[in-house]
A and B are shown apart, each in its own frame.
Chain A
Amino acid sequence: DQQVKQNSPSLSVQEGRISILNCDYTNSMFDYFLWYKKYPAEGPTFLISISSIKDKNEDGRFTVFLNKSAKHLSLHIVPSQPGDSAVYFCAAKGDNAGKSTFGDGTTLTVKP
C-alpha cells in the first residue's frame, strides 16, 4: 500500500507559465511534508517543506499548499523556467526517527 502517491508521472509546461505538481497521502500520522528536486545522475536536493499546522509555505517562485482534510499537497512553480526541468519527489514524515516516505516522482519538462 503506497502511502504517498504522485499520480502524474510527467508534466510539460511552457516557460513562464505555472507548473502544478500534485501529491496525495493516506497516513494521517504524517505531520511534515517536503518536496525534493532531482536532476539526472545527481542525488535529490531539498526544495521546500510544510508543517501540518500550516496550509501554505512560499519560497521565491515555489509555493507548497497543504489540504489536510483531503490529504493532498501541491507544489506551484511560478514562473516556470527551463532549469526547473527535473524529477520532483514528494515526501512525508511522521515519526521521531526522521524517516521520510517518498512518492514515485513527477518528471517536469519546461519548454522554452
Chain B
Amino acid sequence: NAGVTQTPKFRVLKTGQSMTLLCAQDMNHEYMYWYRQDPGMGLRLIHYSVGEGTTAKGEVPDGYNVSRLKKQNFLLGLESAAPSQTSVYFCASSYPALEQYFGPGTRLTVT
C-alpha cells in the first residue's frame, strides 16, 4: 500500500497563477482533508470531505477550492495564487472517528 500520496512535492508559482494539488489514498478511507502548515504553527484545516462528491470548508478556506470526484482522490485548487499562500500543504485521510494518515506534503512558494 502506498498510503497517502501527494503530487507535486515542490512547486514555485508566480502571483496570480493557478495550480491544482492532487492527493490520492489507497486505504478506502471515507474522509479526506487538506491542511496547510506555516512555520512555527500547527496544521490548519483548509477543506475536508466526508465522502465522494461532498466537500466542506475548514478553518482557512479562502482562496482555495476542492473537489472529490472519486473516493480515492481529493484535489486542492488555487485559482489565483498569492504570496500569503506560500506554505507546506498536507493531505490526510481517515476512517470516521479514527486517526488520520498524512501524505508527505507539498512545499509551495508563491513569488
Chain A interfacial positions (CB closer than 8 Å to B): 4, 6, 9, 32, 34, 36, 41-46, 49, 89, 93, 96-105
Contacts and interface: CB of A to CB of B under 8 A. Distances in A.
Interface residues on B, range: 20 to 34
A46 B99 contact: yes
A2 to B, nearest CB: 9
Contacts, number: 59
A102 B37 CA distance: 10
B41 A42 contact: no
B45 A99 contact: yes
A97 B30 CA distance: 10
Contacts of B4: 43
A97 B90 contact: no
A85 B41 CA distance: 18
Contacts of A49: 99
B42 A102 contact: yes
B41 A104 contact: yes
For A34, A43, A97, the residue with the greatest tally of chain B CB atoms inside 10 Å of its CB is A43
Given A97-B31, A98-B31, A102-B42, A42 B99 contact: no
B100 A100 contact: yes
